[in-house]
């Protein structure tokens, strides 16, 4: 015995022999469920597309707290347009498609010329920070070791690279960097700043 074929599809179109179709309304009761499912999927797809295009994003950055004999390496910013004349840490933004540790290794090589292994980096502090025009997540790290000689490889952005006592930082340290260093000393893992 041949299986029976429904004479109406889920959109209320009556099927006729030889591929001809005729609209039938109202659609059969059983076809409402698939129709509602199709409409639901289309609406959720549009909502997902809209929210993905307008989703809030953070800017990520990695910072190195290079510490030796209770001294920390700081670099003074120069002609960058942000906090020039103030000391910060060797750092940089993540480029995407890299981990926080990989970004730190790359930035440190670019800025102060030393090589660090990804596995030698330890994240010691994370800061959620509200800046003037955006919001950021900053990852502060220490390293178990490095190779190479520390040099200022970006003299167009940094006019001083010096070691300072962890307990006696200069007055002109960038405020959130100073907070991160203090939190590192106090074993505080997370902080927020600027909210």
pLDDT one-digit tens code per residue, 147-191? 999 999 999 999 999 999 999 999 999 999 999 999 999 999 999
Contacts of 150 (CB under 8 A, 6+ apart): 66, 73, 112, 113, 114, 161
Task: State the Cα–Cα distance between residues 86 and 25, nearest whole angstrom.
Answer: 75
Amino acid 55: pLDDT = 84
pLDDT beyond 60 at 67: yes
pLDDT beyond 50 at 11: no
Amino acid 15: pLDDT = 44
Band of pLDDT at residue 44, cut at 50, 70 and 90: low
**Which superfamily is assigned to 59-193 in CATH?**
Nucleoside Triphosphate Pyrophosphohydrolase (3.90.79.10)
Band of pLDDT at residue 29, cut at 50, 70 and 90: low
Residue ranges per structural domain of the chain: 13-53, 59-193
pLDDT beyond 90 at 40: no
Contacts of 122 (CB under 8 A, 6+ apart): 141, 142, 143, 144
Neighbours of 51 (CB within 10 A): 9
Looking only at the bridges linking them, the beta strands covering 190-193 and 121-130 are parallel
Rg (CA), the chain: 30
Counting Cα atoms < 13 Å in the Cβ hemisphere of 53 gives 6
pLDDT one-digit tens code per residue, 91-148? 999 999 999 999 999 999 999 999 999 999 999 999 999 998 999 999 999 999 999 9
Band of pLDDT at residue 26, cut at 50, 70 and 90: low
Q: How far is CA 108 from CA 67, 101, 129, 171, 172, in A?
A: 14, 11, 22, 24, 22
Structure tokens that stand for 115 in this block? 């090589």
The conformation of residue 130, written as its DSSP 8-state character, comes to E
């Amino acid at each position: 015995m041949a299986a029976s074929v429904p004479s109406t599809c889920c959109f209320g179109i009556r099927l006729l022999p030889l591929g001809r179709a005729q609209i039938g309304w109202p659609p059969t009761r059983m076809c409402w469920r698939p129709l509602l499912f199709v409409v639901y999927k289309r609406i959720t797809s549009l909502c997902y597309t809209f929210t993905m295009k307008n989703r809030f994003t953070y800017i990520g950055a990695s910072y190195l707290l290079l510490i030796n004999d209770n001294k920390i390496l700081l670099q003074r910013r120069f002609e960058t347009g942000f906090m020039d004349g103030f000391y910060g840490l060797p750092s940089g933004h993540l480029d995407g498609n890299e981990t926080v540790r990989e970004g730190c290794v790359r930035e440190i090589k670019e800025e102060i010329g030393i090589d660090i292994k990804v596995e030698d980096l330890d994240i010691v502090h994370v800061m959620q920070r509200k800046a003037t025009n955006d919001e950021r997540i900053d990852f502060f790290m220490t390293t178990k070791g490095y190779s190479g000689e520390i040099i200022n490889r970006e003299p167009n952005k940094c006019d001083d690279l010096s070691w300072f006592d962890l307990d006696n930082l200069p007055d002109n340290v960038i405020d959130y960097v100073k907070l991160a260093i203090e939190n590192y000393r106090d074993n505080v893992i997370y902080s927020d700043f600027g909210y």
